[in-house]
Amino acid sequence: MDTVEKIVEDFASDIAMSPFSSGTRLRDMIRAIRACKTAAEERAVVRRECAAIRTAISENEPELRHRNMAKLMFIHMLGYPTHFAQMECLKLIAAAGYPEKRVGYLGLMLLLDERQEVLMLVTNSLKQDLNHPNQFIVGLALCALGNICSAEMARDLSPEVERLMRSREVNTKKKAALCSIRIVRKVPDLAENFMALAASLLKEKHHGVLISAIQLCTELCKASKDALEYLRKNCIEGLVRILRDVSNSSYAPEYDVSGIADPFLHIRVLKLMRILGQGDADCSEYMNDILAQVATKTESNKNAGNAILYECVQTIMGIEATSGLRVLAINILGRFLSNRDNNIRYVALNMLMRAIAVDVLAVQRHRTTILECVKDADASIRKRALELVFLLVNDTNVKPLTKELIDYLSIADPDFKGDLTEKLCSIVEKFSQEKLWYLDQMIKVLSLAGNHVKDDVCHALIVVLSNGSELQGYSVRSLYKALQAYGKQGSLVRVAVWCIGEYGEMLVNNVGMLDGEEPVMVTESGAVDAVEIALNRHSADATTGAMCLVALLKLSSRFPSTSERVKQIVARNKENVVLELQQRSIEFSSIIQRHQSIRSSLLERMPVLDEASYLVKRATATQATISADKLAPTVAPGGLKLPNGVAKPTSAPLADLLDLSSDGAPASTTTSTTTPNGFLQDLLGIGGVSTGTTGVPSIASTDILMDLLSIGSSPSQNGTPGQAIDLLGSLSSTTSVSAETKPTHLVSQDMDLLDGLSSSTSVSGLEKTVHPSITAFQSATLKITFDFKRQPGNPRETTIHATFTNLTSSTYTDFIFQAAVPKFIQLKLDPASGNTVPANGNGSVTQGLNVTNNQQGQKPLAMRIRMSYKVNGEDRLEQGQVSNFPSGL
């Protein structure tokens, strides 16, 4: 018998000492998990411990339940599933003792959320505990309800919470007020039940109750307009009293933070004041005195004081404050800018940006300090200060501010130069009142940060130079001097080379000298030297190299004595690895060698560019870019019904939707828009496909400056890339170019484009061609058919008639059709016949599309389409690709 008892005792001892039995203490399990060296070991420990807990649950061991729940909460925090023990929380909550209830409620808040169905079972236990005589158990129930309360639980238990807000116990009132915040968020209709209670709590003396009551008032204002009006009438006086008392209170150790009496209560009261005073002049007037007192009496040498001052400034800016009070607030922000703490300076800059809309003159007084922040070592402060300076610029201070920024540009960090350059260019373009100042500032920016200047800025500068005939000589001399000193700045090189090519004779002869300007001694050979150095230095840049070759070609016409040297420089690029430079070299050599008589007329100065037309096009292109970034199908949350666990597709812009190929670029849904990257189109005021004086359509380059002064098309558009085309090959030396020559057909074989054009072939005899209809798109719900018509006299242009048919029994409303094509195609969408597609095919919606294929015969049409519509108020979206176009389009 003794032996049997000894065996049982040993067995029980072994179980107790086992590190993975259900009786293991929490600290032992944590120690075992932390001792694991690999993730696999950790998973094994957790798996064994969970198995032991499951066994204990199945054997219903109440004495180990609270210990197992504590271990499960730790396992849950490690990220392992613990759903199998949810019912254990309910059993612990239903226990009579406080320790079990404490662990049970903690597990309830940690392991469950309001979406769990098992949560409905705990409502009755919560109701019983909310009526418990023990205030600590009541506090546990309020804490749990405030964390996981669902809408149903809020409706069921709100009467108990209202009753507890009238309790004599301070902690109970505080927790009841916090719990009511969750109830109001879940069921805004219950807000009216708590308005009077919240106002009454503002009369309490305990700071914890006051903070909870103010939080509740803030939530009530957001939930109901009626509550907002009620609190404006009944709470303003109490809030002012609270703020005055806490500001003037003597030292209280339980509320003191760095010598400031309860900054948390300060900030909560100020936030609620901002909500109540916004848009209400009477409330704002009542607050003015106490806000001025807080703003002047609060110490700013402590972080807690700065937090109160910042919140006070936000409140002053948010209400209908007097002008003097706003100036006081902005002066506080000015002091913040001199603080050593980067966080304080950053929030001050943020607040000043918002204050500009309220009182710009008061912000202007701190302009010097803000400019110093632009030079700060912290990158985020620099960027925010630069944005603020940009907002401060006006016609009166533009010149000193620009000078300060340009002076700093020379020493700015490379990472910051891009942002600074962009803002400087915007300031100079927006506020320039005279062209000379504009040119001087832009040349300085190009000299100091030319590699960061965008191409559309260079384009705008060239347009201004073309129109400023009285400043062209001064400009070319200034750019020549800048090129000598800052030859590594890419944008400066391109603009300078263009000017030297156009106005080289003004550079050499010092034409158009301004008063006080020093002459520049440059010979004809010196001008060629400058372009040659730029060509050699930037040989890897196809755009700059192409512009240098064009400039050299023009200089050979301006300065005949340099013709032979230019021919040698151009000939060096006949074997260039860059195909564009190779072709230009061959074509330009042909012009220099074989067409001396027409070279001068062929290389005349460019006509004056239409500045007004360019500005309109640039503004349109910028707006189109912004619209394209924001364009996305409007599908409301939940509109697309997807299985649980399947990610909802993001609403991509039209560019992402219609990504066709490497050549693909989305077309505007209304008309084709010239972007800043279509430099030649913008510069010459022409569209994407234009007809020149010869009547031959020319495909415009999409590179920014590549074809600024180019002759002919790119190699990829003229047949075999490896074989260059002689533009002027078979013209005799006595042949001249006449504007009356109008060839009527473009021969597809490689040839000299200015010779051998047959006049016998005409396109006038072409008749309108009709192609068979196609089904462009068909799904279980929608069918789209395309009908085609070719326009006479223009084989590249096709008119498409789209018909949309509804295949379901539900009517489609708000129907929108979108399409995009590759960049070699131009697309224009006509307005649709309607936006409602009848059900069951009983009628249809039609829409016209005009398509121009600039590589017709080489590349077929391709198109991506997207259709969005509503069915019974629910958003739907369909998309696809059309690739079965008839051949020849």
Is the residue at 155 inside a domain?
no
Q: How many CA atoms, within 13 angstroms, populate the side-chain half-sphere of residue 746?
A: 18
The owner of tokens 């418990």 is: 132
Q: How many whole angstroms separate alpha carbon 387 and alpha carbon 427?
A: 11
Is the residue at 226 inside a domain?
no
Query: Does residue 578 sit in helix, strand or coil?
Result: coil
Is the residue at 583 inside a domain?
yes
For residue 791, the enclosing domain spans 771-882
Can you give the pLDDT at residue 865?
A: 92
Instruction: Show which of 576, 596, 616 is a domain's final residue.
Output: 616
Is the residue at 194 inside a domain?
no
Q: Are residues 753 and 698 in contact, defined by beta-carbon separation less than 8 angstroms? A: no
Whole-model pTM: value is 0.61
Strand partners, 871: 812, 874
Is the residue at 428 inside a domain?
yes
Can you give the pLDDT at residue 121?
A: 82
Can you give the pLDDT at residue 243?
A: 92
Q: How many whole angstroms separate alpha carbon 244 and alpha carbon 267?
A: 13
Is the residue at 799 inside a domain?
yes
Is the residue at 363 inside a domain?
no
Q: Are residues 563 and 592 in contact, defined by beta-carbon separation less than 8 angstroms? A: yes
Q: Are residues 726 and 587 in contact, defined by beta-carbon separation less than 8 angstroms? A: yes
* Domain count for the chain: 2
pLDDT along the chain (889 residues), means of 10: 42 39 74 92 92 84 80 89 82 86 88 77 88 92 90 91 91 94 92 92 92 94 91 91 88 82 92 92 91 90 91 92 91 91 92 89 91 90 91 90 90 88 90 90 90 88 88 91 90 92 90 85 90 86 90 90 90 87 90 82 83 72 56 39 37 38 38 39 37 36 38 38 39 36 36 41 42 86 89 81 90 90 87 89 88 84 90 88 82
Nearest Cα residue to 829 out of 666, 685, 646:
666
Can you give the pLDDT at residue 23?
A: 57
Q: How many whole angstroms separate alpha carbon 213 and alpha carbon 455?
A: 58
Is the residue at 849 inside a domain?
yes
Task: List phi, psi (to 5°) of 53.
Answer: -70, -40
The CATH number assigned to the domain holding 871 equals: 2.60.40.1230
Instruction: Show which of 616, 635, 658 is a domain's final residue.
Output: 616
Instruction: Show which of 616, 644, 675 is a domain's final residue.
Output: 616
